[in-house]
Amino acid sequence: MFLTSEACLLETAVSKICNRRYMAGVVATAEACDSNAALLASGDLRVLQPVFQIYGQCRSFSGPVVTLKVFEDNVLVRELLETRGEGKVLVIDGGGSMRCALVGGNLGQLAHNNGWSGIVVNGCIRDVDEINGCGIGVRALGSHPLKSNKKGHGDKHVPVYIAGVYIAGSFIRDGEWLYADSDGILVSKSELSI
């Protein structure tokens, strides 16, 4: 696929914005692990298992966590993404389902427009090309073309268990901090200093 010069300029501008955000407040996950051995040992800093694919323009993102637990139903995903994100990261426990997508291109753009820093989906996304064009960071187990149910079932702001974090001693909770980059994803009980 060839990009027009306008599309290339837009892609470059989005990349610069993501990089500026990265430089301003995102902690490199490898550095965070190296410099926070005591937090790792205590379980106050946890590393998610490397099961997520990288999507979206922002390969690095961080922010306070907002949790959501749903299964093959994305009504509550939309409800949360319609609110002001203010640099937060939506962590969706979709039960690891690989049978439908919980986030698509429209929700990716909505998240970007409303100031969400990123989305982590323990499940699938769709409209990958559209999401890859959004100025947001997204992690998911994979992609699936089928949309989800629309029944509105699920729970907001509840502890969630994804990608082996429970093994490290705790669920992921609202208000914790998530850090994602090309090396992986960390969850911290409090904001890490740079």
Mean pLDDT for back-to-back runs of 10 residues, the chain (194 residues): 37 44 66 95 93 97 97 98 98 96 98 98 98 97 97 96 63 95 96 83
Whole-number pLDDT of residue 107: 98
Is residue 77 included in any domain, yes or no? yes
> How far apart, in whole angstroms, are the C-alpha atoms of residue 159 and residue 81?
18
Sign of the torsion formed by the C-alpha atoms of 55, 57, 61 and 67: negative
Whole-number pLDDT of residue 67: 97
129 marked ligand binding residue: no
How far, in whole angstroms, is CA 142 from its chain's centroid? 13
User: Would you say 105 and 127 are in contact if contact means Cβ atoms under 8 Å apart?
Assistant: yes
10 marked ligand binding residue: no
Scanning the structure block, which residue is given the tokens 């994804």? 162
> How far apart, in whole angstroms, are the C-alpha atoms of residue 65 and residue 156?
12
Is residue 193 included in any domain, yes or no? no
Is residue 61 included in any domain, yes or no? yes
102 marked ligand binding residue: no
Is residue 194 included in any domain, yes or no? no
Whole-number pLDDT of residue 13: 47
21 marked ligand binding residue: no
For residue 22, the enclosing domain spans 5-188
183 marked ligand binding residue: no
Give Cα separations from 31 to 5, 182, 194 (angstroms): 36, 13, 9
Domain count across the chain: 1
> How far apart, in whole angstroms, are the C-alpha atoms of residue 132 and residue 49?
23
Give Cα separations from 145 to 18, 38, 43, 136, 148 (angstroms): 27, 42, 37, 20, 10
CATH number of the domain within which 64 lies: 3.50.30.40
pTM value is: 0.86
106 marked ligand binding residue: yes
Scanning the structure block, which residue is given the tokens 């959004």? 134
Is residue 60 included in any domain, yes or no? yes
User: Would you say 163 and 52 are in contact if contact means Cβ atoms under 8 Å apart?
Assistant: yes
Q: Residues near 91 by Cβ (< 8 Å), separated by ≥ 6? A: 65, 66, 67, 68, 120, 122, 160, 162, 172, 178
* Closest C-alpha among 33, 15, 18, 1 to residue 188: 33
Is residue 145 included in any domain, yes or no? yes
Q: How many helical (H) and strand (E) elements, i.e. helices and strands, does the chain have? A: 6, 10
